[in-house]
Amino acid sequence: MHIITRKLVTSNDSKIVMLVADGLGGLPLGPGGRTELETARTPNLDQLARRGVQGGSIPVKPGISPGSGPGHLALFGYDPLQYVIGRGALEATGIGFALQPGDVAVRCNFCTLDREGNISDRRAGRIASEQSAALVDRLRAVRVAGVEVFVEPVREHRFVVVFRGPGLGDNVLDTDPQVTGAPPLAPVAADPASRRTAEVAARFVEQAARLLADQPHANGLTLRGFAERPALPSYQEVYGLRAAAIAVYPMYKGLARLVGMEIVGDAHTLDEQVDVLEGCYDQFDFFFLHFKYTDSTGEDGAFDAKVERIEQFDACLPRVTALEPTVLIVTGDHSTPSFLRSHSWHPVPTLLVSDCCRPDGNNEFSERASIRGGLGQFEARYLMLLALANARRLGKYGA
Amino acid sequence: MHIITRKLVTSNDSKIVMLVADGLGGLPLGPGGRTELETARTPNLDQLARRGVQGGSIPVKPGISPGSGPGHLALFGYDPLQYVIGRGALEATGIGFALQPGDVAVRCNFCTLDREGNISDRRAGRIASEQSAALVDRLRAVRVAGVEVFVEPVREHRFVVVFRGPGLGDNVLDTDPQVTGAPPLAPVAADPASRRTAEVAARFVEQAARLLADQPHANGLTLRGFAERPALPSYQEVYGLRAAAIAVYPMYKGLARLVGMEIVGDAHTLDEQVDVLEGCYDQFDFFFLHFKYTDSTGEDGAFDAKVERIEQFDACLPRVTALEPTVLIVTGDHSTPSFLRSHSWHPVPTLLVSDCCRPDGNNEFSERASIRGGLGQFEARYLMLLALANARRLGKYGA
């Protein structure tokens, strides 16, 4: 679609605000019950539902439960089956590491090696994050000629390594043998373009082993998910939009950065996020505002807490609508029903308000209302086209 | 999608039951009327509709009326535009012939040749099936070096030939000239890999002509639709499911066999089919149960008879729900409105019940209710993904 989108995109003074309540969609706890969104008191969303058009957004394809990566790529208008963020790149993105084109990121685990060099614990006894961070700091002493090496802690036994330099392919096999009683594998390139990466990785492991030799548990390491920064065309290129991301958590800042959004502000609460939105409103055309807690409460199976978070989200809306954006979208990257305690495949209630949307007669915003919504059920990757169209930023296709 | 499906599939103890009422969807006989399904008294389906989620399944694409082959392939999760069952292979499948990889199946017609060898009747006076079967039996005497030849009767002037042996391509042109007054064409290979097949077919025709020389009507034959068994990945490979097919008619057994289902039991009535389901319930993960008569009554234009068949189908449901399958699906491979007396393109009312489906507030199962259903309108090829998701057999896509 991007080829056509690029051709049709025009420019104007419109403003598009996309509010993403992570994991918004839900399920009733039992037969005849209501979902979290249906339970929550949401006067502002319901008011918007009267003016707007809603529908059910299918994150990837029917039945597919997406992670945050594909979930957001789809909302941003990137086909999540075409654009894949490799594990290492996602891990680096998730901790806020700004990957550059050509970088190769790797997920690493500390592990325990016995005297013969065989792995006795693949997670180094799940050492504490602080201890792990100190060891990661130690590994920053590793030097490989011709390559910059970045080592960053994640959590417990997990950390990230990024190699930066010319000629580094990312097709290198995992060194984790997936079993105990065997040594870590040597890094092996699966194509000629990745040979240098495998060599660099081997040098890294070698020096790391020396630096960790005195450790009782974390005296070894395994490397997995070698991945370059995915080649995603930017919001500016595809949509001609100056885009701002207002997120609290590194993962979502990272995902926004991958599509060329500018990360704005340093908010910690939803109110602060709206402060940031107000503050930068004149400088951008598109605003992605990410609200995390509808997902995390869902993942915890905390139905009532998710209801509260939805009400908190609803309460921020008057400040957003006061800005009178040309297009206002409320959606989620996927459903996270408390009932399932996990991301799910269920369509996400999605609301679009503009002066030229076609209202659908709904007077509330909910899973049930979205079934009768004017957007029908649609794949999330089309949402940006709808946003652009409603902002009058898309020209006619064909004469 | 299969590439991704394979990666995401996990295993557990869940049971998925897919009930296919062939040609289920219908039309009203006139303005303001009800469809067959809406006319039928279906207390059990309506009860399930309260617990489940429904929608309209589009067999192939909007407006496309499928045959049984593509209709079922789509329900089984195989893109019917990508996976095509050639005519010969479908005909062989339809009579229950177990095609093996590499076999080439051909639809044959007996025809009448005049003294000059020109076709005077392309259907040999539509000779009776019994007579035809006796001639088919005669043709079993044909021998071609290096190739096994199977000849099987179909109906009236139609029969099937299958060539089995190494190096047989299926790209051979039809020998039916499609007109009378001309001789049957010689079998011509359309690619080098099919040269041997054309030679084998020529030998077959030659010997058959001698064996039929004494016949007043069926003294010749034409060959059409040369086709190999389609290369369909199996249910086990793609979904990790041990799948059972419980069907009465050979065609549906054959289609199920093509995707690696095991044909279970030898039922002749719906009640017997449910007996089989109960009997093999512990041995499989997935059950395809095919009910033919909603289609055949539709094809006959017998509205009331179709209503009765739907009520009969409804009556069997308590025995199925008593098994408490993790996921229960009720659908059809296409619509067969009595009004049209044929397969049609209309979406098929489709119902899915599981403990984690999102109920849509419907309290009946019908074409009208399915429009307001939570599954929306979706392509049939995604139904298996929804089944697997609801059975918690699909992991998350991307992190």
pLDDT in tens, A292-316: 999 999 999 999 999 999 999 999 9
Global pTM?
0.91
Residue A96 has pLDDT above 90, yes or no: no
**Minimal Cα distance from A83: which residue of B?**
B398
Q: With CB atoms and an 8 Å threshold, state whether A67 touches B394.
A: no
Closest CA to A231 of A107, A89, A333: A89
Residues A349 and A253 in one domain: yes
Residues B168 and B193 in one domain: yes
Residues B77 and B96 in one domain: no
- Once rounded to an integer, what is the mean pLDDT over residues A20-28? 98
Q: Domain end: B211, B228, B245, which one?
A: B228
Note down the domain range covering A249: 2-85+233-390
Q: Which residue has the higher pLDDT, A76 or B126?
A: A76
- Once rounded to an integer, what is the mean pLDDT over residues A348-371? 97
- Once rounded to an integer, what is the mean pLDDT over residues A150-174? 96
d(CA A150, CA A140): 7
Residues B379 and B240 in one domain: yes
Residues B60 and B125 in one domain: no
Of B8, B372, B376, the CB nearest to A56: B376
**Looking at this predicted complex, what is its ipTM?**
0.90
A-to-B residue pairs, Cβ atoms closer than 8 angstroms: 95
Residue A119 has pLDDT above 90, yes or no: yes
Of B358, B373, B382, the CB nearest to A63: B382
Total count of domains within chain B: 2
Q: How confident is the model at residue A192 (pLDDT cuts 50, 70, 90)?
A: very high
Q: Is residue A71 part of a domain?
A: yes
Q: Is residue B11 part of a domain?
A: yes
d(CA B66, CA B304): 24
In chain A, the percentage of residues whose pLDDT exceeds 70 is: 100
**Minimal Cα distance from B382: which residue of A?**
A62
Q: Mutate which of B357, B358, B362 to test chain A, going by most A C-beta atoms within 10 A?
A: B358
Give Cα separations from A141 to A41, A124, B351 (angstroms). 54, 21, 61
d(CA B25, CA B332): 7
Q: Domain end: A209, A228, A247, which one?
A: A228
d(CA B321, CA B309): 19
Which stretch of DSSP H or E encloses residue A198? helix A195-212
Q: Which residues of chain B have pLDDT under 50?
A: none
Closest CA to B208 of B126, B292, B106: B106
Put simply, whether A64 touches B (Cβ < 8 Å) is yes
In chain B, the percentage of residues whose pLDDT exceeds 70 is: 100
Residue B390: list chain A partners with CB under 8 A: 63
Put simply, whether B8 touches A (Cβ < 8 Å) is yes
Q: Is residue A396 part of a domain?
A: no
User: Which of A360-364, A374-378, A395-399 is the least confident region?
Assistant: A395-399
* DSSP letters spanning B93-125: HHTT----TT-EEEEEEEEEE-TTS-EEETTGG
Residues B347 and B321 in one domain: yes
Q: Is residue B397 part of a domain?
A: no
Sequence-ordered alpha helix ranges (H) in A223-302: 235-239, 250-258, 270-280, 293-299
Residues A358 and A324 in one domain: yes
The C-alpha angle with vertex A298 and arms to A67 and A56, in degrees rounded to 5, equals: 65
In chain A, the percentage of residues whose pLDDT exceeds 90 is: 95
CA distance B378 to chain A (A): 8
Share the mean pLDDT of chain B: 96
Q: Is residue A395 part of a domain?
A: no
The C-alpha angle with vertex A112 and arms to A106 and A114, in degrees rounded to 5, equals: 130
Q: Mutate which of A36, A334, A370, A371 to test chain B, going by most B C-beta atoms within 10 A?
A: A371
Q: How far apart are the first and last CA of chain B?
A: 18
